[in-house]
């Protein structure tokens, strides 16, 4: 059979597209999420840990929809994206933060510590917003562990 679409290593044939079209037609009241869950159950499409691949299935159905091969029901909900609608960090009082102009050896002990999910995270965000050329962006994934504060003490 000819492959109409390859999605995440799965070849989708005309027969499978027809099956999905009929499946959607037989379940007109279901949302896109419910359709993907049920389709995974029918196909026994599961991850290595045994959970349904419903998110991958939703992506597959959306790709087929965008390619004009199936017609999905309209979107019912669009949950808010907190990363796209984040609040800017509060600005700092500029007088409180003077630039340090010294040789590294003159600074003394350097301490680097994680501030993610601590009271200092807000200060870190404000400093990055005020002084970094790219400003502040919400960390995601592995980068969520990156916010750190450095403090120097004199010997």
- Residue 92: both structure tokens together: 């700092």
Every domain of the chain and the residues it spans: 3-66, 94-153
Which comes out higher in pLDDT, residue 87 or 74? 74
- Residue 68: both structure tokens together: 């004009």
Average pLDDT estimate for 25-50 = 93
Residue-wise pLDDT tens digits, 45-78: 999 999 999 999 999 999 999 999 999 998 888 8
Between CA 88 and CA 151 the distance in angstroms is 24
pTM of the model: 0.54
Residue-wise pLDDT tens digits, 3-15: 888 888 778 888 9
The whole-number pLDDT of residue 65 equals: 93
Q: How far is CA 85 from CA 69, 81, 110, 124, 128, in A?
A: 33, 6, 35, 19, 18
Which of 17-21, 102-106, 115-119, 138-142 has the weakest average pLDDT?
Answer: 138-142
Between CA 80 and CA 78 the distance in angstroms is 6
């Amino acid at each position: 059979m000819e492959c109409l679409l390859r999605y995440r290593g799965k070849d989708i044939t005309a027969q499978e597209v027809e099956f999905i079209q009929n499946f959607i037609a037989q379940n007109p009241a279901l949302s896109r999420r419910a359709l993907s869950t049920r389709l995974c159950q029918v196909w026994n499409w599961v991850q290595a840990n045994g959970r349904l691949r419903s998110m991958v299935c939703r992506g597959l159905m959306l790709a087929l929809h965008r390619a004009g091969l199936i017609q999905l029901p309209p979107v019912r909900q669009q949950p808010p994206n907190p990363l796209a609608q984040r609040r800017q960090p509060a600005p700092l009082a500029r007088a409180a933060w003077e630039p340090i102009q010294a040789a590294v050896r003159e600074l003394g002990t350097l301490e680097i510590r994680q501030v993610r999910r601590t009271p200092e995270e807000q200060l870190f965000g404000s400093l990055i917003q005020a002084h970094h050329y790219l400003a502040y962006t919400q960390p995601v994934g592995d980068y969520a562990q990156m916010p750190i504060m450095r403090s120097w003490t004199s010997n």
